[in-house]
A and B are shown apart, each in its own frame.
Chain A
Amino acid sequence: MTEATLHGVVAEYLTPDALVAACKQARKAGYRRLDAYTPYPLEEAAEAIGFEKTQVPLLTLIGGILGGLTGYGLQYWVNLSAYPQNIGGRPMHSWPSFIIITFEMTILFAGITAVVGMLTLNGLPQPYHPIFNHPRFTAASRDRFFLCIEAADDRFELAETKRFLQATDAIDVAEVAD
């Protein structure tokens, strides 16, 4: 196997603490193309591998504001220009009764933007990912914690990176094909 077809080197850990410690060491050693795989969400690991803020919250906020404006604007247009109706002598622009639709449209647009934005930014659905070439990777959804240093990393050097991961608390270090 040549380096060109190598996805990276994967280390396996028994505990979340060991994984987080290894992530921190790897960051310190200068590795940047890292990924950690855990059976349950582990915020500390995300921080340790230098996971930066995503744009999803901002997109959601923008989507929500757009939804609110759409909902309010639609009602304003319907009630004041398209189909004006005198309902119980209330003002045409009866904002209290517009609030519910405005609120619902805010939630709807924010929700859709969050899901679509998340899928666009993280590239899912992804039918093939090389990490599954690791023979024991299914344990990542049960009780094992994995750290992958990818071959695309500038500092990646097969022998040295393997030695580096073996020096951590890993119970197993393996190469994974691309």
Chain B
Amino acid sequence: MNAEKLIQLQGLTKRYGTGDAAFFALRGVDLTIDRGEFVAVMGPSGSGKSTLMNLLGCLDTPTDGSYFFKGIAVEHLNKDQRSLLRRHALGFIFQGFNLLARTSALENVELPLLYRGYTRKQRHEMAREALAQVSLSDKERNTPAELSGGQQQRVAIARAIVTKPDTLFADEPTGNLDSKTTVEIMDLLRKLNSDRGISIIMVTHEDEVAACARRIIHVRDGLISDDIITR
């Protein structure tokens, strides 16, 4: 497999349940994504777009098919190795933010660094730098409950980029946000992609959000129905 490619999927399948109750969320997806791409994955609910995203992010395990991430056969990695892959190469942004409650913005952003053996001083420095990139330097002491939705999502983005990953996975990053905040978040993501070359793979069902991406993949009934390069 070509190590220059970021992601290569062949016949990726995900089945939930067994026997008569079996349901195929993905039915053999083939897909290739290059480094530095900004891809939006779209589709109606139940189409399998979130499942695809979770499999790409190594948060879930496929039933069948092969998945190469930078030439590494992910389906042959064990749990701990997938954890280490996430730790060193991937960042995540969720629709529900998934910040730790009652924990300051700074400590939330520091969280991934705790598993990377940085000193206290290094952690603080890196977390402050990441918060500055999302323009939240003045909120580092606030807990999620004291922040607006857009601010919480920016903390989550800071947490995702603090480790300087080369790929960012975003699952409906603006799903819980109003339109003005949506624009802010999308500007931020676009900048991360264009200025720092971070590959972004984002699930969304909003056309305006998807329009920020340079490639839009439509998923329907567990298969890719459309694959458009917009610019």
Q: Do A and B interact with each other, yes or no?
A: no
A residues within 8 Å of B by Cβ?
A: none
- Which residues in B have some Cβ–Cβ distance to A below 8 Å? none
